[in-house]
Amino acid sequence: MNVRTLIGQSVHRSEDFRFLKGAGRFIDDLKREGMLHAAVLRSPVAHGRIRGIDASAARTMRGVHAVMTAADIGVVPFIPLRLANLPEFKGYLQPVIAGDKVRYVGEPIALVVAETQALAEDALEAIAVDIERLPALPDRHAAAADKSLLFEAAGSNRAVRYTASFGDAKTAFAKAEYTRKETFRCHRLTGLPLETRGQISEWDAAKKRLTVFGATKVLFFNRRTLAPMLGVTEADIDMIEVDVGGGFGVKGEFYPEDFLIPFAARLVGRPVKWIEDRREHLTATNHSREVDCELEIACTRDGTILGMRGHISADMGAYIRTNGGVVPAKAAQFLPGPYCIRDIALTVEAFVTSKTPVGTLRAPGRFEANFFRERLLDIVADDLGLDPMEFRRKNLIKEAELPFHTGKLVPYEPETDFDTGDYHVTFERAIAEIGWDKNKAMQGRLLDGRLHGFAATPFVESGGSGKENSRLVIEGDGSVSVYVGSSVLGQGLETTLAQVAAETLKLPFEKIKILHGSTTYVREGFGTFASRSMVVGGCAVMDGCNNLLAAIRAAATERLGFPNEEIEIAGGAVVAGTKRASFSDFAGLEVEGTFATTTRTYSYGAHACHVAVDPRTGHVDILDYVAIEDVGVAINPHIVHGQAIGALVQGLGGVFLDQILYDQDAQMLNASLADYLVPLATDFSNVRAITMELRRSKTNPLGAKGAGEGGMVAVAATTANAVAAALKPLGIELRDLPLSPARLWGLVNGGGAAKK
């Protein structure tokens, strides 16, 4: 293999071999000597005051080693925020265990440690809990009334309200020839990775040292959070990542169990293992989405967009947890999308309710914002008698207008600009792929008992910024071990980072070993989120490789007498004239690398689809779907393609299947996979992804842009517009997600409010 051209090649994923052999090492595969098992007692009540907990019977059961409640912990710590750390959120943080009050079904109120999982679960049933029920808040409307308060000290269920704007929206609307206001809603769902959350904590009393196996995503942040809670230093804790069966944003944040299990391990002096079952996962792991939007647009009669006003209302669940504030903030920030709109005024409100707290889920806020905006644009185009694609063409940002200033629409972030790109090229490609010009005449036509619809929508998507570190060591056999601060959640980093390292060092791919996911590997790491692992982590690896090359040259000159200016390094050989050495001659040489940027990358693209809706059943067939994205530089096109298809199918599931349902008592109604539906392999077979490399990013030496979420961001917008086009002859305008068969059947048969 030519080591000079590894970047951009579809190298087979090196990590797949161990998975195909069944040699993956997931958290539930691990066993430690003397290991005990933990089970969590969770609140069955959505909102109530704890009057008493009697765990005496459980403590006397054979095989039970400990029962912990808030009273046993003493001073109960609170989970801090990692992102969107607005001061208003301080009064709404979650304690690691409920002491005086419960605020959602699934909140931990006790922990049992026993010899086996079964014994621990049996002991849960022996714990008597007396909870005085309080009025539940099943949605943001109930929360906004403030008749029942989740946090009496805060005085309101509205955790935050802020405004963000740039330009002069008031003037834009005053001079507009046409305005239209609509209200849209995105439902609640969750990431549902194949592997549920779990961990093993092991306390070494002699060394006063804690090891946590199963940490993911942001190991160093979680260690920094846990250390003061336990009264130890960060150096006293090792967090070790094993193989991970998916993350999607919901896994790896700091949850109550991330304190409770280590605390229990230290208490009993033996390793303690905890694994969620699926019901726990659905009720206790972060949910996401559930955002409402009132959106208003101002235009000229010929379709030039003059301004936009919006109001975002988010249901945050019972607590503001780790990164939940990102969801409404990004929903507002991306409402303008890739359009030349220079006058914008937005308001964001976030309410706490008696439901599981929310966090980020693949393309947080952007999935929702694209749906809100693009649905409104189709409605506006219909009002004005414009071709919806021409309407979009007219208003898309032109390449000559880039970088395009987007102002400060997020209070905790600096002002930003969309960087490089040609939004028109990707949009035109999507239109061509779906055959818009020849097929638009089929809009709303009934063929073979099904109504057909077509749509195409453009998008812009933010990616990585921040800092990441690496450490490189030359091994005795001349290979190079590359230690990284990025985490691996299934996105192929072991392969793509090895490609970067191999090409930079001009080594064979097989001579690179990527080691990730341990706080023992690098001095500080920042983890995997926001499509940053290649943009930031990859560049940290590149920097480390360049530092290693410099160190080899210096060592060759100093130790071997090589003339520094003549040294060439390639294929594991170090050559200067007649003098020759190999990497193995420099075994033990070690360097560090780092990369930091405060500037985000912005990938962009467009989605297009053709649907057929059966009005008799509400079932939607995806006859063709194409997702196009310019990622700047695709380090491994095969992996980028897989990410795009995976995101696309997950997004389609979020539109048509995934939905978390609560009743008026804030009890979850579908906390099992019998009722919570996700896509099967056969559900969406007619999907395509096209990766383009049109415009390199200027923010990083690799030229890469984030590629893990672009397949997701425009799915709801595109499918909803196609379904709406199909149903237009029936007088239906879609404003709410999901587009489940039952819901569409209800609309077709007059059971919904979405008819004109």
Asked if residues 454 and 437 have their Cβ atoms less than 8 Å apart, the reply is no
Q: Is the peptide bond before 403 cis (omega within 30 degrees of 0)?
A: yes
3 state SS of 494: helix
What is the DSSP secondary-structure string of 257-292?
Answer: HHHHHHHHHHHHTS-EEEE--HHHHHHHS-BEEEEE
Asked if residues 473 and 501 have their Cβ atoms less than 8 Å apart, the reply is no
User: Can you give the pLDDT at residue 398?
Assistant: 98
Q: Which residue carries 């919901």 as its tokens?
A: 250
- When pLDDT is cut at 50, 70 and 90, the band that residue 2 belongs to is very low
Contacts of 449 (CB under 8 A, 6+ apart): 614, 616
Helix, strand and coil content of the chain, in percent to the nearest 5, comes to 30, 30, 40
| Among 672, 666, 696, 558, residue whose Cα is nearest residue 318 | 666
Asked if residues 239 and 521 have their Cβ atoms less than 8 Å apart, the reply is no
User: Can you give the pLDDT at residue 517?
Assistant: 87
Does 1 have pLDDT greater than 60?
no
First-last CA distance in the chain: 61
**Quick one: three-class SS letters along 612-626?**
EECCCCCCEEEEEEE
Q: What gap in Å lies between CA 127 and CA 107, rounded to an integer?
A: 15
Q: CB-based burial of residue 568 (10 Å sphere; 0-12 exposed, 13-18 middle, 19+ buried)? A: exposed
User: Can you give the pLDDT at residue 3?
Assistant: 47
User: Can you give the pLDDT at residue 751?
Assistant: 60
Q: CB-based burial of residue 756 (10 Å sphere; 0-12 exposed, 13-18 middle, 19+ buried)? A: exposed
Most confidently modeled range among 96-105, 678-687, 745-754: 96-105
pLDDT in tens, 508-547: 999 999 999 899 999 999 999 888 999 999 999 999 999 9
% of the chain at pLDDT higher than 70: 99
What is the DSSP secondary-structure string of 420-450?
Answer: S--HHHHHHHHHHHHTHHHHGGGTT-EETTE
What's the rounded mean pLDDT across residues 544-573? 94
Report the run of H or E that residue 724 belongs to, with start and end: helix 715-727
Pure H helices in 440-570? 493-505, 539-560
pLDDT in tens, 308-317: 999 999 999 9
Does 369 have pLDDT greater than 50?
yes
Q: Both tokens of residue 210? A: 């804690």
- Sheet with strand 158-166: strands edge to edge: 158-166, 344-351, 305-315, 288-299, 178-189
When the pLDDT of each residue in the chain is averaged and rounded to a whole number, the result is 96
pLDDT in tens, 288-306: 999 999 999 999 999 999 9
Q: What gap in Å lies between CA 115 and CA 104, rounded to an integer?
A: 29
- When pLDDT is cut at 50, 70 and 90, the band that residue 753 belongs to is very low
What is the DSSP secondary-structure string of 25-94?
Answer: -BGGG---TT-EEEEEEE-S-SSEEEEEEE-HHHHTSTTEEEEE-HHHH-S--BPPBSSS--GGGGGGPP
| Among 133, 29, 273, residue whose Cα is nearest residue 665 | 133
- Sheet with strand 590-597: strands edge to edge: 512-515, 480-484, 466-474, 590-597
pLDDT in tens, 82-93: 999 999 999 999
**Which of 386-390, 530-534, 735-739 is predicted least confidently?**
530-534
**Which of 102-106, 278-282, 747-751 is predicted least confidently?**
747-751
- When pLDDT is cut at 50, 70 and 90, the band that residue 756 belongs to is very low
% of the chain at pLDDT higher than 90: 95
Does 4 have pLDDT greater than 70?
no
Q: Residues, the chain, total?
A: 756
Q: Which residue carries 């303690």 as its tokens?
A: 272
| Among 44, 6, 12, residue whose Cα is nearest residue 124 | 44
Does 462 have pLDDT greater than 90?
yes
pLDDT in tens, 320-353: 999 999 999 999 999 999 999 999 999 999 999 9
| Among 316, 342, 343, 339, residue whose Cα is nearest residue 329 | 316
DSSP character at residue 537: I
Q: Rounded to two decimals, what is the model's pTM?
A: 0.96
> What are the beta bridge partners of residue 102?
48
Q: Which residue carries 């070993």 as its tokens?
A: 513
What's the rounded mean pLDDT across residues 675-689? 94
Helix-then-strand count for the chain, H and E: 20, 29
Q: Which residue carries 């008799």 as its tokens?
A: 616
Classify strands 344-351 and 305-315 as parallel, antiparallel or unpaired.
Answer: parallel
User: Can you give the pLDDT at residue 464?
Assistant: 78
pLDDT in tens, 391-401: 999 999 999 99
What's the rounded mean pLDDT across residues 558-577? 92
Classify strands 602-613 and 620-630 as parallel, antiparallel or unpaired.
Answer: antiparallel
Domains of the chain: residue spans and CATH:
3-24+466-596 (3.30.365.10), 35-137+192-284 (3.90.1170.50), 426-463+600-756 (3.30.365.10)
pLDDT in tens, 111-164: 999 999 999 999 999 999 999 999 999 999 999 999 999 999 999 999 999 999
Q: What gap in Å lies between CA 106 and CA 93, rounded to an integer?
A: 16
What's the rounded mean pLDDT across residues 39-68? 98
Classify strands 450-462 and 466-474 as parallel, antiparallel or unpaired.
Answer: unpaired
> What are the beta bridge partners of residue 593?
470
pLDDT in tens, 219-267: 999 999 999 999 999 999 999 999 999 999 999 999 999 999 999 999 9
Does 624 have pLDDT greater than 60?
yes
**Quick one: three-class SS letters along 577-646?**
CCEEEEHHHHCCCEEEEEEEECCCCEEEEEEEEEEEECCCCCCEEEEEEEEEEECCCCCCHHHHHHHHHH
